[in-house]
Amino acid sequence: MELYGYFRSSASFRVRIALALKGLPYDHRPVHLARDEHLNAPYKAMAPAALVPLLKDGDATLSQSIAIIEYLNETHPEPPLLPADPVGRARVRALSLDVACEIHPLNNLRVLRYLTREMGVSEDHKNRWYRHWVERGLEAVERQLAQHPATGRFCHGDEPTMADVLLVPQIFNAQRMECQLDHVPTVMRVFEACMQRGAFQASQPSACPDAE
């Protein structure tokens, strides 16, 4: 398999973790987002939405990190990244989407660029915007983890699931942007548990071949 991604893209980071948890080898194909390499014609021909990550598996070209993780989980079931029961699966997917739909889209590079370039928003306002969505979004995740009996060492039970795969890259971003995190103790306890696992450690941005 080949993974087209960017070391600092948290959506790419998610797929790296899933591949590592499954023990699947792959080739890194760096696409430098800050240099707009995702907008080059050869990449866009392969990736119609011009986004990273992109996974090539044989003839198949897959986009959207959650769709890729579900695919990996269906084609390589062990270890499972979703629980066996439908209600548990729905909980893990909902936690994943709480990161993927409620936090991350507001803070990705093209959105931040639009705020400053098209709307003339100041650096200070932009940073407050970033922190607002991360801090409020993680607060919602915290409420769901702290209140729920299915929360274990990880977001759901005592082994990592897709919810942990989504959460960890979001915490890396939050720390890089100096967001407040002391209001989400359960989130941070789960984060620490994840970072004790080799699959999460080995997938972090600083461990990528294209890290700067």
The least distance separating a copy of itself from the CB of residue 137, rounded to whole angstroms, comes to: 9
- Of the candidate residues 1, 111, 150, 188, the single one contacting a copy of itself (CB under 8 A): 111
Q: Which two tokens stand for residue 186?
A: 């359960």
The least distance separating a copy of itself from the CB of residue 98, rounded to whole angstroms, comes to: 6
Q: Is 26 in the site for a copy of itself (CB under 8 A)?
A: no
Closest by CA to 68, choosing from 104, 37, 38, 24, is 24
**Dihedral in degrees, nearest 10, Cα atoms 139, 131, 196, 157:** 20
Q: Which stretch binds a copy of itself (CB under 8 A): 14-22, 47-55, 151-159, 194-202?
A: 47-55
The least distance separating a copy of itself from the CB of residue 191, rounded to whole angstroms, comes to: 19
* Preceding amide of 80 cis, omega within 30: no
Task: Give the number of C-alpha atoms closer than 13 A to the C-alpha of residue 87, restricted to the C-beta side.
Answer: 2
Q: Is 207 in the site for a copy of itself (CB under 8 A)?
A: no
Instruction: Taking the CA atoms of 45, 46, 49 and 50 in sequence, report the sign of the dihedral they define.
Output: negative
Residue found under tokens 């299915």: 150
Residues that bind a copy of itself (CB under 8 A): 48-51, 60, 62-64, 66-68, 70-71, 74-75, 86-87, 89-91, 93-94, 96-98, 100-102, 104-106, 111, 114, 118-119, 121, 125, 128-129, 132, 140-141, 143-144, 147
